[in-house]
């Protein structure tokens, strides 16, 4: 590993010199404000000249559309940064950020932003006030619901929409389906419900109760053939919402069962539900288990129970999927919000202690 100290008038200027010296894969080891007749910044930077950059962008993926170019670039950058961090930890190195940079780093870590992502943010932010704009820019690239659900509607009357919610056990899929159905009905959309339970047909009692309560038809299906028949039966519906059973996403049989649904010609918009009350590493693992399914967007539930929401940023920036909505409680109808990138950034930074 090649290490060098660089002095400049400010951190932004020092960062430009580091990139000129070492390139885009350089890692900032420390940053210190100093004075020698005048104030200056001393940055210690490093580059591991033996590191191999792994690019998975050309590896065939089963189902999902290739992520945008900015996501591939970000993944490569984060992969390299993670390797640098691990290499330094193995050699006994500890981060020595000082002053404003140290304050920013700990602020982000407190929000459950992953360490390598936090370092990437503070490279681009001059001070703690800049963090929000940097994070907002990253989340905006992934995309969010850019206007309220009430204004844009869930379905186009001339173009029927089929939305399927997937996610691990306990994330709140069925309750969320009921929230979405209630909102669509208020917009005078004709809604149909489908419960797709590959393993336990009897587990659909909750959605039966919701369908009766809301007053919309429900079909229970168990395989892709009965699913296709149900979609035909609901040909007069503007919107069809598809509920799926909760399982451990590590269960490959369950994932394979879901993938079979996409072997039909039925156009399905798939939303992955993730609970903000879950552990951050579990959320990352969950996405990785589900990514063989063509996910269109993410949605985050139980934000009213979350202590920190940094995992939303971690997932948005790493996978480049838009966040469609969040849920804020169990009330049906209600307790659902279609967020823009500004609101989502604010939510992440204002939740939890500073």
CA distances in angstroms from 31 to 35, 272, 289, listed in the order given: 13, 39, 38
Domain ranges in the chain with CATH number 3.40.50.300: 149-350
Hey, what are 49's tokens?
């000249």
Residues of the chain with pLDDT under 50: 50-62, 64, 91-94, 146-152, 201-202, 354
pTM of the model as a whole: 0.73
Between CA 348 and CA 308 the distance in angstroms is 7
Q: What is the pLDDT of residue 23?
A: 77
Between CA 296 and CA 287 the distance in angstroms is 12
The CATH code for residues 149-350 is 3.40.50.300
Q: What is the pLDDT of residue 274?
A: 94
């Amino acid at each position: 590993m090649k290490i060098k100290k660089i002095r400049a008038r400010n951190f932004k200027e020092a960062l430009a010199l580091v990139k000129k010296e070492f390139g885009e894969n350089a890692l900032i080891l420390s940053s210190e404000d100093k004075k020698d007749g005048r104030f200056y910044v001393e940055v210690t930077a490093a580059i591991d000249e033996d590191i191999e950059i792994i690019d998975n962008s050309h590896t065939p993926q089963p189902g999902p559309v290739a992520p945008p170019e900015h996501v591939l670039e970000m993944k490569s950058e984060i992969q390299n940064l993670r390797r640098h961090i691990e290499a330094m930890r193995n050699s006994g190195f500890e981060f020595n950020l000082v002053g404003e940079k140290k304050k920013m780093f700990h602020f982000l870590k407190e929000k459950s932003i992953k360490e390598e992502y936090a370092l990437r943010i503070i490279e681009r932010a001059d001070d703690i006030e800049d963090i929000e704009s940097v994070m907002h820019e990253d989340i905006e690239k992934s995309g969010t619901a850019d206007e309220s659900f009430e204004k844009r509607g869930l379905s186009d009357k001339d173009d029927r929409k089929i939305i399927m919610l997937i996610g691990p056990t306990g994330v709140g899929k069925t309750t969320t389906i009921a929230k979405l159905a209630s909102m669509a009905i208020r917009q005078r959309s004709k809604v149909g419900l489908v419960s797709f339970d590959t393993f336990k047909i009897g587990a659909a009692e909750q959605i039966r109760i919701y369908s009766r309560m809301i007053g919309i038809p429900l079909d229970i299906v168990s395989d892709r053939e009965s699913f296709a028949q149900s979609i035909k039966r609901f040909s007069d519906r503007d919107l069809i919402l598809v509920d799926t059973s909760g399982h451990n996403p590590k269960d490959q049989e369950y994932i394979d069962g879901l993938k079979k649904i996409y072997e039909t010609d039925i156009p399905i918009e798939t939303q992955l539900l993730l609970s903000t009350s879950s552990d951050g590493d579990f959320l990352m693992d969950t996405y990785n288990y589900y990514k063989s399914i063509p996910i269109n967007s993410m949605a985050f539930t139980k934000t009213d129970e979350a202590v920190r929401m940094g995992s939303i940023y971690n997932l948005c920036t790493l996978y480049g999927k838009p966040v469609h909505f969040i849920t804020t409680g169990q009330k049906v109808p209600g307790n659902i919000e279609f967020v823009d990138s500004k609101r989502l950034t604010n939510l992440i930074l204002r939740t939890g202690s500073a």
